Amino acid sequence: MIHDYSFEDKVLLAVDCIIFGFDEEDLQILLIKRDFEPEKGNWSLMGGFLKKDEDLDQAANRILHHLTGINNVYMEQLYNFSKVNRDPAERTLSVAYYALINIAEHRQELTENYSAKWFKISDYPSLIFDHDQMVQKAIARLRYRTSTNPIGFELLPEKFTMRQLQKLYETILNEKLDKRNFINKIKSLDILVKLNEKDMVSSRKGSFLYKFDAKKYNAKVEEGFSFRL
């Protein structure tokens, strides 16, 4: 006999997305201005509500695509936020996700078509509800994941210099890294392909470009390889 749930409390389930990007100098976060009450006109993460016919991952991808036009990016479930009064409109739980995208590929589309704005993670405006807490948890998770998995490459263009890679890790980890030690460590991992191309913008001699070799990395993982920066 199926139990009757009609007398149980009903609550809304929201999905909020913390979207990180990197512009070769700073880690940034993508925000929008809320266009309805409560908190209309204030800065917010991108979010929406779970539908009856989808799971949380599907909802997160749908919401991200609806609000940004972006598909197929790195996304990870972060944490559940369930304070009773976190949303003054109605009892609402939120499951937060964070996503990593390459700003260069999407900057114009996001700012022109979706009225979104990038902010440096070191200087972004106060957010609605408990969204600031979500961002801080996402930053902590990103730092941990970056040191144990090569997810940082999701924030870079397909071809990048060693300087760009080091700057990305310094920005995420919020610490200065020794150039020689960093390069030696990265090269020892043997997961990059050095190209016969140079970025001539960074210096007169130019800097060699690299690519992340996902196939080699996955094969190494199957052999027991553990990424540690």
Which pLDDT value is given to residue 204?
A: 75
- Residue span(s) of the chain under CATH 3.90.79.10 come to 12-148
- Residue span(s) of the chain under CATH 1.10.10.10 come to 156-222
**Residue 224, φ and ψ in degrees, nearest 5:** 105, 5
> What tens digit of pLDDT does each residue of 119-149 get?
999 999 999 999 999 999 999 999 999 989 9
The pLDDT of 66-80, averaged and rounded, is 91
Which pLDDT value is given to residue 98?
A: 97
String of DSSP letters for 122-176: TS----STTHHHHHHHHHHHHHHHHHHSGGGGGGS-SSEEHHHHHHHHHHHHTS-
> What tens digit of pLDDT does each residue of 75-112 get?
999 999 999 999 999 999 999 999 999 888 776 666 66
Which pLDDT value is given to residue 79?
A: 98
Task: Reply yes or no on domain 12-148 having CATH 3.90.79.10.
Answer: yes
Longest alpha-carbon distance in the chain: 77
> What tens digit of pLDDT does each residue of 10-50 get?
999 999 999 999 988 899 999 999 988 999 999 999 999 99
Residue 189 or residue 226, greater confidence: 189
pLDDT level of residue 72 (50, 70, 90 thresholds)? confident
Q: Chain-wide mean pLDDT for the chain?
A: 91
CATH class of 156-222: mainly alpha
Query: Of 85, 95, 89, whose CA–CA distance to 40 is shortest?
Result: 89
Which pLDDT value is given to residue 182?
A: 94
Which pLDDT value is given to residue 135?
A: 98
Q: How far apart are CA 60 and CA 14, in angstroms?
A: 9
The pLDDT of 195-221, averaged and rounded, is 88
For the whole model, what pTM was predicted?
A: 0.91
By the 10 Å C-beta count (0-12 exposed, 13-18 middle, 19+ buried), 10 is classed as: exposed
pLDDT at 113 over 80: no
pLDDT at 202 over 80: no
Which pLDDT value is given to residue 57?
A: 97
